[in-house]
Chains A and B, each alone.
Chain A
Amino acid sequence: MTTAQTFIQCQWCTTQSPLGTPSCPSCGAPLDSRNVVSDSGWTAAPRIRDMTRIEFGSSTCQVEGHMVPVADLQLGAGDAVFFEHHVMLWKDDSVPLENLSLSGGVTRLFAGMPFSISMAKGPGHIAFSRDAAGELVVLPMHPGMEMDVREHAFVLASYSLEYSFVRVKGLANIFFGGEGMFMDRFVTRTARGLLMLHGYGNVFQRTLKPGESILIEPGGFLYKDSSVAMDVEFQKIGGAFLGGKAMALARVRGPGRVGIQSMYHHHHQDRK
Chain B
Amino acid sequence: MDQPQTTPVSARCQWCGNTFTQVSALANCPRCGAPLRVAARRDDGGWTELPPVADMARIQFGASSVQIEGHSVPVADFKLGSGNHIYFSHHYLLWRDDQVLMGQMSLRGGITRMFAGLPIFMLEAHGPGRMALSRDEPGETVAVPLNPGQAVHVLEHKFLAATGQVSYDWTDLGIFFLVRKGNNSDDQDYVYPIGRYIDVFRCEKEPGLLLLHCAGNCFLRTLGPGETLLVKPRSLIYCDATVHLGLHFEYPRHAGMLRRRHIWLRLKGPGRVAIQSCYEGIEMENSPNIIEPFGSTSRAW
A contacts, CB < 8 Å to B = 36, 38-40, 42, 44, 47, 67, 133-135, 200-202, 204, 213-217, 220, 235, 237-239, 241-242, 247, 249, 260, 262-266, 269-272
Contact of B94 among A247, A260, A265 (CB under 8 A): A260
**Contact flag A200-B94 (CB < 8 Å), given A39-B67, A237-B104, A241-B120:** no
A-B contact pairs, 21 of them (CB 8 A): A38-B77, A40-B77, A40-B130, A42-B77, A44-B55, A44-B69, A133-B138, A134-B72, A135-B72, A202-B69, A204-B69, A214-B96, A215-B98, A216-B94, A220-B95, A235-B90, A238-B121, A260-B94, A262-B74, A262-B134, A269-B91
A200 CA to B106 CA, complexed, in Å: 32
A44 CA to B69 CA, complexed, in Å: 8
* Number of residue pairs spanning A and B whose beta carbons lie under 8 angstroms apart: 111
Asked if residues B70 and A247 are in contact (CB atoms below 8 Å), the reply is no
Asked if residues B94 and A40 are in contact (CB atoms below 8 Å), the reply is no
**B118 CB, nearest partner CB in chain A, Å:** 9
A215 CA to B100 CA, complexed, in Å: 11
**Contact flag A201-B157 (CB < 8 Å), given A39-B79, A40-B130, A270-B119:** no
Residues of A within 8 A of B98 (CB): 213-215
B contacts, CB < 8 Å to A = 55-56, 58, 65, 67, 69-75, 77, 79, 90-91, 93-98, 102, 104, 106, 110, 117, 119-121, 123, 130, 132, 134-138, 157
B73, B104, B106, B120, most chain A CB atoms within 10 A: B73
A201 CA to B135 CA, complexed, in Å: 9
**A22 CB, nearest partner CB in chain B, Å:** 20
Asked if residues A239 and B91 are in contact (CB atoms below 8 Å), the reply is no
Residues of B within 8 A of A67 (CB): 72, 138
Residues of A within 8 A of B136 (CB): 263-266, 269
**B223 CB, nearest partner CB in chain A, Å:** 29
Asked if residues A215 and B157 are in contact (CB atoms below 8 Å), the reply is no
Residues of A within 8 A of B123 (CB): 237
Residues of A within 8 A of B97 (CB): 214-215
Residues of B within 8 A of A36 (CB): 55-56, 69
Residues of B within 8 A of A47 (CB): 71
**A100 CB, nearest partner CB in chain B, Å:** 32
The 8 closest A-B pairs by CB, nearest first: A201-B73, A202-B70, A263-B73, A262-B134, A262-B73, A133-B138, A216-B95, A272-B117
Residues of A within 8 A of B137 (CB): 263
A217 CA to B106 CA, complexed, in Å: 22
Which B-chain residue is minimally distant from A221 (CB atoms)? B95
B69, B95, B135, B136, most chain A CB atoms within 10 A: B95
Asked if residues B91 and A271 are in contact (CB atoms below 8 Å), the reply is yes
Q: Give me 8 other A-B pairs in contact (C-beta within 8 A), A133-B73, A235-B102, A262-B70 excluded.
A: A39-B58, A47-B71, A202-B71, A202-B74, A247-B93, A260-B95, A263-B137, A269-B136
Asked if residues A263 and B135 are in contact (CB atoms below 8 Å), the reply is yes
Asked if residues B90 and A237 are in contact (CB atoms below 8 Å), the reply is yes
Which B-chain residue is minimally distant from A238 (CB atoms)? B121
Which A-chain residue is minimally distant from B134 (CB atoms)? A262
